[in-house]
Chains A and B, each alone.
Chain A
Amino acid sequence: MDATHAHDHGHDHHPSGLMRWVKTTNHKDIGTLYLWFALIMFFFAGSLAMMIRAELFEPGMQFVHPEFFNQLTTMHGLIMIFGVIMPAFTGFANWQVPLMIGAPDMAFPRMNNWSFWLLPVAAIFLIGEFFLPGGAVAGGWTMYPPLFIQGGVSYDLTIFAVHIMGASSIMGSINIITTILNMRAPGMTMMKMPMFVWTWLITAYLLIATMPVLAGAVTMLLTDRHFGTHFFNAAGGGDPVMFQHIFWFFGHPEVYILILPAFGIISQIIPTFARKPLFGYASMVYATGSIAILSFIVWGHHMFTVGMPAAGQLFFMYSTMLIAVPTGVKVFNWVATMWKGSMTFETPMLFAVAFVCLFTMGGFSGLVLAITPVDIQLQDTYYVVAHFHYVLVSGALFSIFAGAYYWLPKWTGHMYDEKLGKLHFWLSVISMNILFFPMHFLGLAGMPRRVPDYALQFTQFNQIASIGGFIFGASQLIFLIVVLKAVRGGAKATDKVWEGAEGLEWTVPSPAPYHTFETAPMVK
């Protein structure tokens, strides 16, 4: 392909100023918008977490009252999931999917613009709730009725925001699926697609399958709240546990939505820095597919304590344990990719290695929780908080950092500051463990989650966790500095930034020109 031609052409249609960002239909601009949005939300939801950890530093009520504490945990959870991890991955998809498959843009550029701009609207609704009488929603990100029916106007706003974010995700997914299926460069068969593209294809299907389920569940909440229906009210013939079944039928696949793109990013990075092709590409694809399919039949493991019959408990226990098999295959494949490679450890690789190790620890605690009787001990304790932060922070979030460092030179045209990147990595990985590892012990000893205050025997581990939390929170400022520095300047990046990198995105200049692949590249 003739890069000069692409560049010239780009100048003709290059809008500028603020309206460039509002009206843009360019996949790179939209990817950038998503990524900045996620980063801002990350600092907001992170500061809520810092308040939680400050309150929990000692027993007794110090800074906030219990109602506000519940608002903090609920908003922290909701925003981290819907406002940080999902948009960040979508940002990666927008930037990378067209570049990786040799497409000039997403299939529906105008809809792409809409999918993004819905998100700030939803975010304003959510954050605005803090200023309403009664404060923000405090019923937990899981929104269980009847507690959720009791709340005030901010509960309605939350439902509205969830609808908007759901619409955004569905539009985004349609775009991604269509792009991947229809716009691949000639010669790129499905089984030649980069792993990141595969994982996003499967994730997009999960989104389309589950988002409407969530929308249905929260709509039922809304009509229960205002229009006299009794879907979840036993007094009117409804059943509060039915909400949990519907919610987790969405919610469990959702946790894979939060991790499959991470698998994809890691599967790009490890081969690059091991200078060796991904081990077992085909089994990686099949493992991802099996995880996605299995994710639809395990939702009951979130509900082992609601009193389901033994047959139900056993079914959900077995099906949950089964997921360990394909997940194990993925981990073994990553390790085998590193095996006998020629490895270097730039920041993206450091985060990728930490991901493999720590995500697996999250997987191990998941296996512990899969065993129904043990889960009944640990359900709704800090053990669960430890488990999901190992998969969400050292899993999803670390993969996002890894991907950001990996592709920043391609996006900005400048190398990031490697020293600062390494500092960010080491501080994050150490403090993350100080923060979340003790929570396993708290959970084993029986400390419930979502409590603003606790009995004396839980003091020490909470103090350790809080200190780890403050260090972790502060370390993230380094990341902000690294990104800003790379955006504003730095050593010029080459086209193929990394020695071992493979793929179409490394054939275009850095920074990637505004328009790429106007003539499709051939893949042999």
Chain B
Amino acid sequence: MKIKRILGAATGMVLGLATDLAHAAYELNLQTPETPIAGQIYHLHTLIMYVVLAIFVVVFGAMFYSIYAHRKSRGHQAAHFHENTTVEVIWTIIPFFILIGMAFPATKTVLAMKDTSSPDMTVKVTGFQWKWEYDYLQEGIHFFSNLSTPRDQIDNKVAKDAHYLLEVDHPLVVPTGKKIRMLVTADDVIHSWSVPAFGVKQDAIPGFIRDTWFKVEKPGIYRGQCSELCGKDHGFMPVVVEAKTPEDYAKWLADEKAKMAAVVEDPNKVYTLDEMKSKGEKVFTSHCAACHQASGMGIPGAFPALNGSKIATGDKAAHIDRVMNGKPGTAMAAFAAQLSDTEIAAVITYERNAWSNHTGDVIQPSEIKALRK
């Protein structure tokens, strides 16, 4: 019975694999380059591949010929030579020239990649555990960009969609044909902002700002991922860039500004418990659930549970302090700078009244405002 089932599962797996293999679009090379820099990288890689293949064929051709022809079983007698200065000098010098041939175009590309001068536009990107924040410095708008793949897809409960793990709620939007300079930094640990089709990968280092640039010609959606181990959700931190024509971009920008103006909150407004709870749940889902889980149970040993926790059910001031200022030395970030007064008040209210927590406390935005220096 059991054996049959195991066998059945195994055949299923093999069949599934075989059909997968038959339909797969095997990608054997770098992603299609979409910027001039990525194009240069692509060609550099191709050039090196030719060089490497040629060396491979020559050297291992000789080796395998020798293995074939100079075997004892074929009666070959060993020769006795064991050095030859001329040969050794030649095979030291030739590689040297090959390397110079490769270094020359590579140097040109390095210099081009590093030239971030005179951009048309500058965006600051900040890495957080585990989301990106985009700050349009001249335009005055900013937003967070979170993974939007539903948890159920990750847990294999529902089918995965085409852009599984490479989709976000709020992509970076940029105009085509413009030189865009990215200022890259991080808030907690090192992340790396990377979009392969642009040839861009820049580490985001807390406390330091580094820059990089790209100029994309074709409107479209370009996808990448965080590329530096940054903790448990490192694999769930996509970068999505949407390039729009300058006209569409202008429209998007106007919309975005209007939206931001509409949600300006009055920090002195007084809310009811239910209002705060429902606002707070949204904040919790996008900023807190990654570690503490939607169930509030955390991950034992790594991330504490909030359900029934001493902080979330005890002294209000300590709870507010933890959310605003984080806990240094752990993955618990300081949210004071990331969230508005209303958002902080709301999420704390939610945490104090969700799951089995029933403190009945309502935190008002004005309390948070008073705590800010």
Contacts and interface: CB of A to CB of B under 8 A. Distances in A.
Interface stretch (A138-146, A258-266, A407-415): A138-146
Contacts of B27: 441, 444-445, 457
Interface in A270-296: 274-283
Nearest to A381: B227
A448 B225 contact: yes
B109 A373 contact: yes
Contacts of A376: 41, 113, 199-201
A321 interface: yes
Interface stretch (A172-180, A197-205, A364-372): A364-372
Nearest to A334: B63
B330 A150 contact: yes
A463 B153 contact: no
Contacts of A337: 82
B224 A317 contact: no
B207 A234 contact: yes
Interface stretch (B91-99, B241-249, B269-277, B309-317): B91-99
Contact of A368 (B52, B82, B92, B162): B52
Most chain A CB within a 10 A radius of its CB, from B40, B59, B163: B59
Interface string B204-238: 01111011100000000000111111111111100
The interface size bin for chain A is 35 or more
Contact of A451 (B40, B188, B234, B330): B234
Nearest to B226: A448
B318 interface: no
A343 B68 CA distance: 9
A456 interface: yes
Contacts of A341: 66, 70, 76, 78-79
A189 interface: no
A314 B106 CA distance: 9
A106 B210 CA distance: 52
A67 interface: yes
A324 B52 CA distance: 12
A380 B59 contact: no
B102 A321 contact: yes
Main secondary structure of the interface of B (DSSP, over half): mixed
Interface in A328-384: 328-329, 331-333, 335-345, 353, 356-357, 360-361, 364, 367-368, 371-374, 376-377, 379-381
Most chain A CB within a 10 A radius of its CB, from B73, B162, B229: B229
Contacts of B339: none
A483 interface: no
Contacts, number: 302
Contact of B114 (A309, A332, A367, A451): A309
B30 interface: yes
A307 B203 contact: yes
Contacts of B48: 367-368, 371, 374
B99 A463 contact: no
A140 B189 CA distance: 13
Contact of B83 (A241, A280, A317, A343): A280
B91 A147 contact: no
B72 interface: yes
A372 B154 contact: no
Nearest to A278: B82
Interface string B236-269: 1000000000000000000000000000000000
A139 B329 CA distance: 14
A223 interface: no
Contact of A446 (B41, B70, B224): B224
Interface of A: 59-62, 65-67, 70, 133-135, 138-140, 144-147, 149-150, 152, 225, 233-235, 239-241, 274-283, 305-307, 309-310, 313-314, 317-318, 321-322, 324-325, 328-329, 331-333, 335-345, 353, 356-357, 360-361, 364, 367-368, 371-374, 376-377, 379-381, 441, 444-446, 448, 450-457, 459-461, 463, 500
Q: Which 3 A-B pairs have the closest CB atoms?
A: A234-B207, A451-B235, A307-B210
28 contacts: A59-B165, A66-B236, A135-B302, A146-B206, A147-B229, A147-B230, A152-B301, A281-B83, A283-B88, A305-B201, A307-B212, A310-B114, A339-B66, A341-B76, A344-B73, A372-B110, A373-B106, A373-B113, A376-B201, A380-B227, A441-B27, A444-B29, A446-B225, A450-B234, A451-B225, A455-B165, A456-B160, A460-B21
Given A66-B235, A278-B82, A335-B59, 11 more contacts: A276-B78, A276-B80, A305-B228, A339-B62, A342-B76, A360-B59, A371-B106, A377-B30, A444-B29, A448-B227, A455-B163
